[in-house]
């Protein structure tokens, strides 16, 4: 009785391992080449990597910092991944993120004095809505006249960024020298995790991380178990067969790009509500663009995005310690990040290496 289920579980694990092989090999290759670069530049990778690991996972505070940095990448990674599943390249997550941040900075002040749970829900919804709205125009152009979303979402990123720049230096500028909005009242912010759960170590990670994980799980479910996700995947894989099956390709495109935009908007909301408590025009370190790399590494699987975002968060959080203790400039981390993306993109290369090691293994065995 138990045997068939064991067999399927074995198959499932084998399948999962195959799926994980490319990302894992890519990360290892990137670390390897990163080491060579460090050696050439006169640094010791055997000091640098342990230092980085310590900086990322060495203690409760470090882990919290890693998760904090993973949070916006999780949202933007999900945004890009969902678009990809529907055959759309939302390169403009950065712009949708800025608009989401803007909505939170404004609404948080408006809602001052109201209960915190209410404010959190309202601000998340508003940020998702404006992110979706910012993606709607490119989506409409794509669906109606075929304008390529790579161009239009990118252009909308510029528009969004500069609108925010103008607002924080002008109409929404808080009193003082610095171009930023006024600080949000406490009831309009996301609580830190250690404030919610006393047993956790003190760190900057906030409720946004948990929301991100929940959203990732929701998205995984949507893709697999709902007609909405089914139609998005069908259109992404084969628009002609989808059309023949009665799926409207234009409306599926619009829905998918708007959902993608909503997710990117949430990245902006959680950054403003959980980290900065206000908006300034440098509040995103290119999260929208790094999200593309996160989605690629996760192979557009929402659950994979959680892991990929944490990896990128760890690289970013560990970079500081690496610089302090091994004197390796943080820029090396950017090189490693770029290499990871390169190897994931060059999937065939990783596959070839996996194939070779397997063959060598077989030869050794025989």
Partner 1 sequence: MASPIIEMRGLTKRFPGVLANDEVSLSLHSGEIVALLGENGAGKSTLVNMVYGLLTPDEGSILVDGEEVNIRSPRHAIDLGIGMVHQHFMLVNPLTVTENIVLGAEPTRLGAIDFPAARASVRELSSQYGLKIDPDAVVRDLAVGMQQRAEILKALHRDARVLILDEPTAVLTPQEVRELFSVVRSLVADGLSVVFITHKLEEVMSIADRVVVMRDGAVVGETRPADTDMAGLARMMVGRDVVFRVEKKPSRCGDTVLEVNDLSVLDERRLEAVKGVSFSVCAGEIVAIAGVSGNGQAELVEAITGLRRPAAGTIALKGKDITHGTAREAIETGVSHVPEDRHRRGLVLEFNLMENMILGDHRLAPYSKRGVFDYNVISEVSKKRIADYDVRTPSERVKAEALSGGNQQKVVLARELGRDPDLLVAAQPTRGLDVGAIEFVHSQILAERDSGKAVLLISLELEEVQSLADRILVMFEGRIVREFEAGEASDEELGYFMTGGGGAKFAEATVEGGAVDG
- List residues binding partner 1 (CB under 8 A): 224-228, 230-231, 233-234, 237-238, 240-248
Q: Which helix (H) or strand (E) holds 10?
A: helix 2-40
Q: Which two tokens stand for residue 218?
A: 């929701």
Q: Rounded to the nearest whole angstrom, what is the least distance from the CB of residue 232 to partner 1 in the complex?
A: 12
DSSP states of 319-351: HHHHHHHH---THHHHHHHHHHHHHHHTHHHHH
CB 283 within 8 A of CB 104: no
Let me know if 117 is exposed, middle or buried by CB neighbors in 10 A (0-12, 13-18, 19+).
exposed
Min dist CB 238 to partner 1, Å, is 5
Nearer to partner 1, 15 or 202 (CB): 15
| Minimum CB distance to partner 1 smaller for 40 or for 362 | 362
Instruction: Give me the least distance between CB of 94 and partner 1, in Å please.
Output: 30
Beta bridge partners of 192: 206
Question: C-beta of 242: minimal distance to partner 1 in Å?
Answer: 7
DSSP 61: H
Q: Which is nearer to partner 1, 162 or 221 (CB)?
A: 221
Q: Which is nearer to partner 1, 40 or 145 (CB)?
A: 145
- On the CB side of 107, CA atoms within 13 Å amount to 24
Nearer to partner 1, 227 or 282 (CB): 227
What minimum distance in Å lies between the beta carbon of 234 and partner 1? 5
Report yes or no: 305 and 78 within 8 Å, Cβ to Cβ. yes
């Amino acid at each position: 009785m138990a045997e068939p289920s064991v067999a399927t579980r074995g198959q499932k694990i084998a399948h999962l391992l195959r799926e994980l092989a490319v990302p894992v090999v890519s990360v290892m290759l990137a670390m390897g080449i990163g080491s060579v670069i460090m050696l050439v530049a006169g640094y010791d990778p055997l000091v640098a990597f342990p230092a980085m690991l310590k900086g990322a996972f060495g203690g409760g505070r470090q882990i919290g910092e890693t998760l904090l940095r993973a949070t916006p990448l999780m949202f933007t990674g999900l945004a890009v991944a969902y678009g990809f599943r529907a055959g759309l390249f939302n390169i403009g997550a950065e712009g949708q993120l800025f608009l989401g941040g803007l909505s939170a900075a404004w609404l948080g002040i408006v809602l001052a004095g109201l209960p915190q749970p209410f404010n959190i829900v309202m601000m998340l919804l508003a940020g998702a809505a404006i992110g979706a709205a910012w993606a709607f125009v490119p989506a409409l152009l794509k669906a109606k006249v075929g304008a390529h979303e790579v161009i239009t979402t990118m252009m909308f990123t510029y528009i969004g960024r500069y609108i925010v720049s103008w607002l924080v230096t002008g109409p929404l500028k808080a009193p003082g020298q610095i171009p930023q909005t006024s600080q949000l009242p406490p009831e309009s912010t996301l609580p830190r995790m250690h404030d919610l759960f006393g047993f956790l170590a003190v760190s900057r990670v906030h409720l946004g991380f948990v929301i991100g994980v929940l959203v990732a799980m929701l998205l995984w479910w949507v893709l697999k178990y709902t007609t909405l996700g089914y139609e998005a995947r069908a259109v992404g894989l084969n628009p002609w067969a989808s059309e023949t099956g009665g799926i409207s390709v234009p409306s599926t495109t619009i829905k998918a790009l708007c959902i993608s935009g909503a997710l990117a908007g949430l990245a902006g909301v959680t950054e403003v509500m959980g980290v900065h408590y206000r908006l300034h025009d440098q509040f995103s370190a290119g999260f929208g663009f790094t999200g593309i790399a996160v989605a690629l590494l996760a192979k557009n699987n929402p659950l994979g995005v959680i892991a990929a975002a944490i990896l990128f968060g760890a690289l970013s959080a560990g970079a500081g310690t690496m610089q302090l203790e091994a004197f390796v400039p943080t820029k090396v981390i950017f090189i490693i990040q770029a290499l990871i993306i390169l190897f994931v993109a060059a999937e065939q290369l990783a596959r070839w290496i996996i194939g070779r090691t397997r063959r060598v293994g077989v030869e050794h065995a025989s």
